[in-house]
Amino acid sequence: MIDTILITGATLPGGSQSDILVAGGVIRELGSIAAPAGSRRIDAAGLVALPGLVDLHTHLREPGFEQSETVLTGSQAAAAGGFTSIFAMANTLPVADTAGVVEQVLSLGQQAGYATVRPIGAVTRGLLGEQLSEIGAMAHSRAAVRVFSDDGKCVHDSLLMRRALEYVSSFDGVIAQHAQDPRLTEAAQMNEGSLSSELGLKGWPAVAEESIIARDVLLAEHVGARLHICHLSTAGSVEVIRWAKARGIRVTAEATPHHLLLTEDLVRSYDARYKVNPPLRRDEDVLALRAAIADGTIDIIATDHAPHPSESKECEWDSAAFGMVGLESALSVVQTALVDTNLVGWNDVARLLSATPAAIGGLIGAGAIRAGAAADITLHDPSTSSVFDVTDLAGKSVNSPYLGRQLSGSVRYTLHNGYLTLDDGLVVPAEVVAASARAGSQMEMGE
């Protein structure tokens, strides 16, 4: 049986305090609650209770690249960061472009039990940008895929992008576009500007992102489909999204924690932990993204968690892989960049990191702390501040750009479907979580 848990004295996102009673995998009651006999009590005085975080953009690497991450280890990293639902990108081996592969990823997530793992289907076969993948088969499979992306590669062919948008609109799916004109970014290594010239690195122009977004919002408007822009990174991109929303186009956009805090100046170190796609941008871009988060132009924050083995990062900059891990640090970075600077409050954090990504990804009933909802809850301590360390990483790779950096806050507890996956800052052992997940599954089936 799943334990009954009473969380006492938690601060809800709106600022009020409440006890939260969890039993049978759901939130039973909010208010002032007497502890039921035999229940586990968690003292949440001083902790903010957020609906379990939802990440619409992660790379879990399995199948095919298990040396970097697996669905299990990526889910453990998610639990450490307060995430209870994660969407896994399609750039695996084999590519997640068939019903069989997405169902495999779904099953691996269910077996691990740390989070709801929803596979993202590839837009094109093999991510090659030449033919549409088995979109319909994936949408109607057991995985019920609703988000499709070639992330890591741009769907650069205009006609193919139009057809993909038309296809997913038939079942209210969404195309999540990696906005990068491939011709404008050939051999690019960092943001294009005076610093790239100074460092002798091939520049990555902002227009390579902005031009694709401009094309795609017009295509989405033309066919009436939903479009989501991954890891938006420039001030110009913000303006395109703002214009599109003013026209009523069905577009949403995400920013990553690293694009809200870090700038291109870090590339001076030639430390490949700071090599990412899209690249770290200027101070002006960071400030524009923060403002767009605050005014609602950018809808969500997503990590683009991209693990790599050490040999892919501990090498010359030109040879290093693009990408950063980000699940474990995301909420602390959001607090540091947005909450501590008074740009957003905890209600906004709940919207940006839970309710809205859940809605975009089609997670029914997720993103709220209320009686009757699934007991996905994150308890965060905003009063702490510490230097982020390799011991804070729970996944398989250590390519974090935050190592050695002071960050605010810490996740103390994560509950997924009513059981603990993070207990007082420690990831719960895999066998315990798997047993809890099996027990919950049996309860749902009435066994």
Catalytically active residues are: 304
d(CA 21, CA 380): 17
Q: Say whether 323 counts as a known binding-site residue.
A: yes
- CA distances in angstroms from 366 to 11, 248, 343, listed in the order given: 19, 26, 25
How far apart are alpha carbons 11 and 306 in whole angstroms? Answer: 32
305 is in an annotated binding site: no
Quick check: 173 and 226 in contact, CB under 8 A? yes
Check whether 304 is labelled as a binding-site residue.
yes
Rounded (10°) angle between helices 430-444 and 99-112: 110
| Residue pair 321/313 in contact by the 8 Å Cβ criterion | yes
Is 381 marked within a binding site? no
- 57 is annotated as contributing to ligand binding: yes
Instruction: Reduce the secondary structure of the chain to three states and give it as a string.
Output: CCCCEEEEEEECCCCCEEEEEEECCEEEEEECCCCCCCCEEEECCCCEEEECEEEEEECCCCCCCCCCCCHHHHHHHHHHCCEEEEEECCCCCCCCCCHHHHHHHHHHHHHHCCCEEEECECCEHHHCCCCECCHHHHHCCCCCCCEECCCCCCCCCHHHHHHHHHHHHCCCCEEEECCCCCCCCCCCCEECCHHHHHHCCCEECCHHHHHHHHHHHHHHHHHCCEEEECCCCCHHHHHHHHHHHHCCCCEEEEECHHHHHCCHHHHHHCCHHHCCCCCCCCHHHHHHHHHHHHHCCCCEECCCECCCCHHHCCCCHHHCCCCECCCCCHHHHHHHHHHCCCCCCHHHHHHHHHHHHHHHHCCCCCCCCCCCCECCEEEEEEEEEEECCHHHCCCCCCCCCCCCCEEEEEEEEEEECCEEEEECCEECCHHHHHHHHHHHHHHHCCC
Tell whether residue 60 is among the known ligand binding residues: yes
Distance of CA 119 to the CA centre of its chain: 12
β partners of residue 20: 7, 30
222 is in an annotated binding site: no
Is 372 annotated for ligand binding?
Answer: no
Q: Which two tokens stand for residue 184?
A: 């404008």
CA–CA distance, 422 with 42 (Å, rounded to integer) = 12
Residue ranges of the binding site for Zn(2+) = 57, 59, 151, 178, 231, 304
Annotated binding site: 57, 59-61, 91, 151, 178, 231, 277, 304, 308, 322-323
Binding annotation for substrate? 59-61, 91, 277, 308, 322-323
